[in-house]
């Protein structure tokens, strides 16, 4: 213990101590600063510090390392100030950030930015303000001219940043004066004092202590209040709610003021009682999260689930990562719950990752019933304050189990024992923009490894990556192919779109079979899910005469038609305009909408089934924080007969009354131009089909397609994942696709077409020279060649899988990009690197 200490914190009297600082700027390396004597015995990993960066900026950064080695190329500047009494992040987190930046080819400052909730975040420009207690007439120290000038200017503004001072005081002396005024308590530096996080409080009232235990005194109080009915009412209500007579100690907690006012008490009468000294008002900190009471009904695992659990335990003895492939409805949640209980009992922490869209569903509720307020939820739609509250909860040990979206990987865990990634195949685990462009499943495995914890990947339809690793023995593998309670799998039907079209049986995109099945389901008063893939269905408008399609002025895409607001919008830059009344090319007024988005399908359904109650769930209808939840609750309460939706409806639904699932157009999923199209089609169709029929009811699934002969449909219907996998993998091997190679995509962006292209060409040439097993494709204009007035070019790299090759290549890649960026011609070019870009 003592040795370890000595390493991290060299003796307080040593003179040359240095700290490597992570700064929130896109620079590749840590910067080394010297640690002044005054803070040598406080500073450590994870503390926030203020440092000067470049000539003008003062930045706040995080200490990554403390050591005694002076930098050899530059003279270390001193740390200006230490901002915290305790570290805000731990050493494991910094290790994780560091791995992420090197694996995903980005700067550690970018990872830090993604990791810290902005309530804790360090702004790049430290703001300065006059200390509220500072008194100009009585400063308490002699001020020189420059200090007076600075303070006077500052007092005219709410706050200023350091750059503004530089203009005020020539000769770059401002930071010294700031430092000195800071030390004298005359000014404040923004981050160090005004925490952006504000805890939630509740206003409460109680009787002042003199009345407690003295019934006589209370009686005479009522005498005094005779005629003041409103005050009397307050007192009576209070005594009714808080049993002061039976339990005098209950008074200490008091009563929320709102309870009184909700019961009709007048706020001003409450205030009067407070003024009189009869009551007192006080504030308490409360949680932003309401947790339902724990009510674990002691669910027993079925024999099949028991067996799976045993196998998981057994295989975890040898393997760190395990793939649990359990068909939809096999009850993976109950198995997770058992595993989580065990790990929590051993004193370790647990993280359960869920894809974005599944968060507000029965799974969370189910687990909340078991784990109550030990479990924290980390949602992407949370406000900053809510995020900080979860962060603090983990830090202080309030939560030892977190269920959350991909960014919950960054919470300050210090002893994870188990990480579960549910629906591990989900593509929403990948972050596309901004950097770090990480895959949360893969990052979870690394995080777990750093904690020496176990990782469980759960899904009905594994990603090829995970299945591959399970097949070659790198991961453990456990399979459940029975539904809980032996509920039957649904019956599948293929409906031929072209056949129906020929026979004039296709109505508003619905085949006769699907229409008849919907009608029959409605007649039985059961529910229907209609699925439409999100990709490639954005509706647009087009001229019937000449084919003109309105496009965005800034991007290379057609504008999307939003029926609800009756406008056209660009999904890349937000540009919008009214729907034109006539064609801009030929002037014709015959303008129609094209595309079969969910909105259009909803409309068709309401024409086909006018008596049915129809709802829609997609990005548009779930934008608000609880939008998703509201629609699901409505559906589960039986207020909706048909629910139309995108990917979102493929998970988190577990409703007994759904007996029909319709897939409007399976071909678009299958024939999407991407080597993963088949894998995705298998996953999506299987997942959405899994929503049909539960327990004692068998459901039906109708797949509409123009190509019912496709082999993949037979494999999906038979649930034959393994056959499907083997055939697809043969192709991937032949054409060098993942998981046989690793992909890296690089995009160059510039406002000038030629510059973007030339930069990409130069980069490609530099990359060709790197001695690593690779194939480099491109550069080519991106599929969408212009976004927000910037032109985009792409380079694709297929890289050998071995760890050494990857590490070497990535390091070289970053060096070459830095080299190009130093070139005057390419200074304004942006280079985006995306590792595992899918």
Q: Min. distance of Cβ 300 from ligand ADP in angstroms? A: 6
Output 37 or 586, the one with its CB closest to Zn ion: 586
Q: Report the residue from 37, 549, 586, 711 that binds Zn ion according to the rule CB under 5 A.
A: 586
Chosen from ligand ADP, Zn ion, none, partner binding at 549 (C-beta under 5 to 8 Å by type): none
Q: What is the 3-state secondary structure (H, E, C) of 770-787?
A: CCCCEEEEEEEEEEEEEE
Q: Min. distance of Cβ 296 from ligand ADP in angstroms? A: 12
CA separation (Å) from 22 to 39, 113, 127, 730?
18, 10, 19, 45
Chosen from ligand ADP, Zn ion, none, partner binding at 305 (C-beta under 5 to 8 Å by type): ligand ADP
Chosen from ligand ADP, Zn ion, none, partner binding at 331 (C-beta under 5 to 8 Å by type): ligand ADP
Q: Min. distance of Cβ 326 from ligand ADP in angstroms? A: 5
The pair of three-digit structure tokens given for residue 49, joined into one six-digit string: 């510090």
Q: Report the residue from 198, 209, 588, 802 that binds Zn ion according to the rule CB under 5 A.
A: 588
CA dist., res. 437 & res. 432, Å (int): 5
Nearest partner of 596 among 673, 720, 497, 697, judged by Cα: 497
Chosen from Zn ion, ligand ADP, none, partner binding at 82 (C-beta under 5 to 8 Å by type): none
Q: Min. distance of Cβ 332 from ligand ADP in angstroms? A: 4
Chosen from Zn ion, ligand ADP, none, partner binding at 570 (C-beta under 5 to 8 Å by type): Zn ion
The pair of three-digit structure tokens given for residue 234, joined into one six-digit string: 């307050």
- Is residue 570 a contact point for Zn ion (CB under 5 A)? yes
Output 761 or 781, the one with its CB closest to Zn ion: 781
Angle among Cα 95, 99, 105 to the nearest 5 degrees reads 145
Strands (E) in 328-396, as ranges, are: 349-353, 375-378
Q: Which residues of 717-745 are buried (b: 16+ CB within 10 A; e: fewer)?
A: bebebeebbeebbeebeeeebbbbbbbbb
Output 333 or 636, the one with its CB closest to ligand ADP: 333
Check: CB of residue 564 under 8 Å from CB of residue 607: no
Give the DSSP H or E segment for 65. strand 57-67
Output 469 or 686, the one with its CB closest to ligand ADP: 686
Nearest partner of 528 among 537, 536, 520, judged by Cα: 520
Give the dihedral sign, CA 365/366/369/370.
Answer: negative
Looking at the DSSP bridge assignments, the partners of residue 793 are 748, 781
Count of positions on this chain that bind Zn ion (CB under 5 A): 15
Taking CB positions, which residue lies at the least distance from ligand ADP? 331
Chosen from ligand ADP, Zn ion, none, partner binding at 555 (C-beta under 5 to 8 Å by type): Zn ion
- Is residue 575 a contact point for Zn ion (CB under 5 A)? yes
The pair of three-digit structure tokens given for residue 19, joined into one six-digit string: 């700290």
Q: Report the residue from 278, 583, 688, 797 that binds Zn ion according to the rule CB under 5 A.
A: 583
Stretch that binds Zn ion, among 17-25, 35-43, 49-57, 571-579 (CB under 5 A): 571-579
Output 487 or 601, the one with its CB closest to ligand ADP: 487
Output 190 or 572, the one with its CB closest to Zn ion: 572
Chosen from Zn ion, ligand ADP, none, partner binding at 394 (C-beta under 5 to 8 Å by type): none
Output 481 or 709, the one with its CB closest to ligand ADP: 481
At 341 the three-state DSSP class reads helix
Interface positions with ligand ADP (CB under 6 A): 299-302, 305, 326, 328-334, 484, 654
Check: CB of residue 541 under 8 Å from CB of residue 568: yes
Largest CA distance in the chain: 96
Chosen from Zn ion, ligand ADP, none, partner binding at 585 (C-beta under 5 to 8 Å by type): Zn ion
Chosen from Zn ion, ligand ADP, none, partner binding at 392 (C-beta under 5 to 8 Å by type): none
- Is residue 540 a contact point for Zn ion (CB under 5 A)? no
Angle among Cα 700, 704, 706 to the nearest 5 degrees reads 150
Q: Min. distance of Cβ 786 from Zn ion in angstroms? A: 9
Check: CB of residue 355 under 8 Å from CB of residue 651: yes
- Is residue 589 a contact point for Zn ion (CB under 5 A)? no
Chosen from ligand ADP, Zn ion, none, partner binding at 408 (C-beta under 5 to 8 Å by type): none
At 748 the three-state DSSP class reads strand
Residues contacting 538, CB < 8 A, separation 6+: 560, 561, 571, 595, 597
Tell me the backbone φ, ψ of residue 528, rounded to 5 degrees: -125, 140
Nearest partner of 465 among 811, 796, 99, 801, judged by Cα: 801
Q: Min. distance of Cβ 426 from ligand ADP in angstroms? A: 13
CA dihedral 400, 405, 410, 415 (to 10 degrees): 30
CA dist., res. 90 & res. 414, Å (int): 7
Chosen from ligand ADP, Zn ion, none, partner binding at 543 (C-beta under 5 to 8 Å by type): Zn ion
Residues contacting 4, CB < 8 A, separation 6+: none
Which residues in 376-395 contact Zn ion (CB under 5 A)? none
Angle among Cα 353, 359, 365 to the nearest 5 degrees reads 105
Q: Min. distance of Cβ 562 from Zn ion in angstroms? A: 14
The 8-class DSSP code of residue 554 comes to S
Chosen from ligand ADP, Zn ion, none, partner binding at 586 (C-beta under 5 to 8 Å by type): Zn ion
Q: Min. distance of Cβ 564 from Zn ion in angstroms? A: 20
CA dist., res. 288 & res. 744, Å (int): 41
Chosen from Zn ion, ligand ADP, none, partner binding at 328 (C-beta under 5 to 8 Å by type): ligand ADP
Chosen from Zn ion, ligand ADP, none, partner binding at 548 (C-beta under 5 to 8 Å by type): Zn ion
Which residues in 542-561 contact Zn ion (CB under 5 A)? 543, 545-546, 548, 552, 554-555
Q: Edge to edge, what strands does the sheet with 774-787 contain? A: 774-787, 790-799, 742-750, 830-835
Q: Min. distance of Cβ 631 from ligand ADP in angstroms? A: 19
Output 328 or 349, the one with its CB closest to ligand ADP: 328
Stretch that binds Zn ion, among 48-56, 459-467, 567-575, 777-785 (CB under 5 A): 567-575
Q: Min. distance of Cβ 758 from Zn ion in angstroms? A: 24
Q: Min. distance of Cβ 637 from ligand ADP in angstroms? A: 17
Output 305 or 348, the one with its CB closest to ligand ADP: 305
- Is residue 573 a contact point for Zn ion (CB under 5 A)? yes
Q: From residue 499 to residue 538, what is the string marking binding to Zn ion with x (rule CB under 5 A)?
A: ----------------------------------------
Question: Where along the sequence are the contacts to Zn ion (CB under 5 A)?
Answer: 543, 545-546, 548, 552, 554-555, 570, 572-573, 575, 583, 585-586, 588
């Amino acid at each position: 213990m003592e040795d370890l200490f000595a390493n991290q914190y060299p003796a307080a009297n040593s003179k040359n101590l240095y700290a490597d600082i992570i700064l929130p700027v896109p620079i590749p390396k840590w910067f080394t600063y010297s640690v002044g004597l005054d803070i040598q015995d406080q500073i450590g990993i994870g503390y926030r510090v203020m440092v000067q960066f470049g000539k003008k900026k003062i930045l706040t950064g995080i200490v990554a390392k403390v050591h005694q080695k002076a930098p050899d190329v530059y003279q270390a500047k001193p740390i200006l100030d230490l901002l915290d009494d305790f570290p805000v992040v731990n050493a494991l987190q910094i290790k994780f950030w560091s791995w992420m930046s090197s694996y995903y080819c980005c700067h550690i400052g970018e990872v830090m930015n993604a990791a810290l909730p902005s309530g804790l975040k360090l702004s790049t420009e430290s703001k300065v303000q006059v200390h509220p207690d500072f008194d100009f007439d009585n400063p308490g120290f002699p001020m020189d001219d420059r200090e007076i000038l600075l303070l006077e200017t500052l007092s005219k503004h709410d706050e200023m940043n350091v750059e503004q001072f530089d203009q005020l005081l020539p000769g770059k002396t401002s930071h010294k004066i700031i430092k000195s005024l800071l030390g004298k308590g005359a000014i404040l530096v923004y981050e160090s004092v005004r925490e952006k996080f504000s805890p939630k409080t509740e206003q409460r009232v109680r009787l002042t202590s003199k009345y407690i235990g003295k019934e006589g005194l209370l009686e005479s109080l009522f005498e005094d209040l005779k005629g003041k009915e409103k005050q009397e009412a307050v007192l009576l209500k209070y005594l009714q709610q808080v049993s002061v007579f039976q339990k005098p100690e209950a008074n200490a907690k008091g009563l929320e003021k709102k309870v009184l006012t909700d019961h009709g008490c007048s706020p001003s009468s409450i205030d009067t009682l407070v003024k009189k000294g009869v009551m007192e008002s006080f504030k308490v900190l409360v949680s932003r999260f309401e947790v339902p009471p724990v009510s674990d009904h002691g669910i027993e695992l079925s024999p099949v689930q028991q067996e799976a659990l045993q196998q998981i335990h057994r295989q975890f003895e040898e393997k760190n990562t395990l793939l649990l492939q359990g068909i939809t409805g096999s009850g993976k949640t109950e198995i997770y719950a058992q595993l989580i209980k065990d790990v929590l009992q051993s004193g370790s922490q647990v993280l359960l990752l869920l894809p974005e869209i599944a968060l507000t569903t029965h799974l969370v509720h189910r687990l909340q019933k078991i784990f109550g307020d030990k479990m924290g939820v980390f949602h992407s739609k949370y406000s900053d304050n809510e995020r900080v509250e979860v962060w603090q909860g983990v830090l202080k040990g309030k939560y030892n189990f977190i269920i959350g979206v991909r960014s919950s990987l960054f919470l300050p865990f210090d002893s994870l024992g188990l990480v579960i990634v549910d629906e591990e195949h989900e593509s929403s685990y990948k972050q596309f923009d901004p950097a770090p462009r990480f895959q949360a499943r893969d990052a979870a495995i690394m995080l777990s490894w750093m904690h020496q914890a176990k990782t469980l990947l759960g899904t009905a339809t594994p990603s090829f990556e995970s299945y591959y690793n399970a097949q070659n023995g790198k991961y453990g593998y456990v399979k459940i192919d029975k539904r809980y309670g032996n509920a039957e799998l649904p019956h599948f039907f293929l409906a031929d779109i072209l056949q129906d079209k020929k026979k004039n049986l296709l109505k508003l995109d619905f085949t006769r079979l699907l229409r008849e099945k919907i009608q029959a389901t409605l007649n039985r008063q059961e529910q229907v899910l209609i699925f439409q893939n999100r990709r490639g269905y954005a509706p647009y408008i087009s001229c019937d005469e000449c084919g003109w399609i309105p496009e965005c002025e800034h991007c290379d895409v057609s504008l999307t038609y939003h029926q609800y607001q009756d406008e056209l919008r660009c999904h890349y830059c937000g540009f919008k305009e009214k729907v034109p009344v006539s064609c801009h090319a030929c002037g014709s007024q015959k303008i129609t909408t094209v595309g079969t988005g969910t909105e259009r399908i909803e409309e068709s359904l309401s024409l086909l089934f006018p008596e049915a109650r129809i709802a829609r769930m997609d990005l548009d209808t779930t934008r608000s924080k609880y939008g998703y939840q509201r629609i699901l609750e409505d559906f589960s309460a039986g207020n909706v007969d048909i629910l139309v939706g995108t990917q979102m409806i493929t998970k988190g639904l577990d409703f007994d009354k759904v007996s029909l699932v319709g897939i409007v157009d399976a071909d678009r999923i299958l024939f999407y131009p991407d080597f993963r199209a088949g894998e995705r089609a298998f996953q999506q169709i299987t997942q959405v089909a899994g929503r049909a029929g539960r327990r004692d009811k068998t459901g039906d699934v109708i797949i509409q397609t123009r190509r019912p002969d496709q082999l993949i449909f037979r494999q999906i219907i038979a649930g034959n994942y393994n056959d499907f996998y083997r055939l697809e993998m043969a192709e991937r091997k032949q054409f060098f696709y993942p998981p046989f190679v690793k992909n890296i995509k690089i995009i160059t962006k510039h406002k000038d077409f030629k510059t973007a292209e030339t930069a990409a060409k130069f980069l490609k040439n530099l990359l060709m020279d790197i001695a690593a097993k690779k194939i480099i494709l491109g550069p080519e204009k991106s599929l969408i060649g212009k976004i927000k007035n910037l032109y985009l070019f792409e380079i694709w790299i297929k890289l050998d899988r071995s760890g050494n090759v990857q590490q070497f290549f990535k390091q070289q890649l970053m060096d070459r990009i830095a080299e190009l960026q130093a070139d005057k011609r390419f200074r304004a070019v942006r280079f985006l690197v995306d590792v595992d870009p899918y």
